[in-house]
Amino acid sequence: MVCGSFHNIGEVIVTLKDKGYKFINLITWRKTNPMPNITTRTLTHSTEFIAWFAKGKCWKFNYNNMKKYNQGKQLRDLWEFPVCQGPERIKGENGRAAHPTQKPLELFKRLIEMASDENDIVIDPFIGSGTTALAAMQLNRNWIGIDNNKEYIDLANKRINKPENNTKLKDYC
């Protein structure tokens, strides 16, 4: 799965299809508390997209389990979650957001639960603030996190490397 805005999601979809990935779904994340539009030159960006792809025929979709998120009915491709704020938002030493695109933990828990089973391996090639790793651990999945930004690797390690967690990100560049 790849997250993106309207600025880049089209190119992501075309590129991955060209590489032989099967395009399964496009999930629209409606941000219930979008960041304000300070330029006043465009509409406020209140959505982001998650393109779900698979390679081969062995991909998973936990259909019945996902019904719990829609009163026992089929889960739709429009999901509402707030942007990270308050205690969920990781702050840097300067008191500002430590990562510009930190995703909500509950959003990533749903994505991981939807497309994997316990003990599966979840790979995040852009680990950023560590949301994927934290969600995977909470759902009893194994995970691999990669990033080319040492600051983000350190940020993710700090977030997830608590005494009860014996996993640690490795420095991949």
**What are the pLDDT digits (tens) for 67-84?**
999 999 999 999 999 999
Say if 137 falls within a structural domain.
yes
Burial-class residue 126 by CB neighbours within 10 Å (0-12, 13-18, 19+). middle
Say if 21 falls within a structural domain.
yes
Say if 30 falls within a structural domain.
yes
Nearest one of 160, 82, 89, 92 to 127, comparing CA atoms: 160
Query: What is the pLDDT confidence band of residue 172, given thresholds at 50, 70 and 90?
Result: very low
> Average pLDDT over the chain, rounded to whole?
92
* C-beta of residue 63 within 8 angstroms of C-beta of residue 57: no
Residues 56, 58, 26: CA angle, nearest 5 degrees: 75
At residue 162, the pLDDT reads 61
Query: Is residue 108 pLDDT above 60, yes or no?
Result: yes
Burial-class residue 144 by CB neighbours within 10 Å (0-12, 13-18, 19+). middle
* C-beta of residue 111 within 8 angstroms of C-beta of residue 1: yes
- Give this prediction's pTM: 0.89
At residue 165, the pLDDT reads 55
At residue 37, the pLDDT reads 87
Q: Which residue has the higher pLDDT, 77 or 165?
A: 77
Say if 171 falls within a structural domain.
no
Say if 170 falls within a structural domain.
no
Nearest one of 101, 100, 97, 80 to 89, comparing CA atoms: 97
At residue 161, the pLDDT reads 85
At residue 4, the pLDDT reads 94
- Residue 130: which domain range? 2-160
Say if 165 falls within a structural domain.
no
Beta strands in the chain (DSSP E): 2-4, 22-31, 47-54, 78-81, 121-124, 142-145
CATH number for the domain spanning 13: value is 3.40.50.150
Dihedral sign, Cα of residue 41, residue 43, residue 46, residue 52: negative
Task: Encode pLDDT of 39-68 as tens digits.
Answer: 889 999 999 999 999 999 999 999 999 999
- The domain total for the chain is 1
Ranges of H-type helices in the chain: 9-18, 63-66, 105-115, 131-138, 150-160
Say if 116 falls within a structural domain.
yes
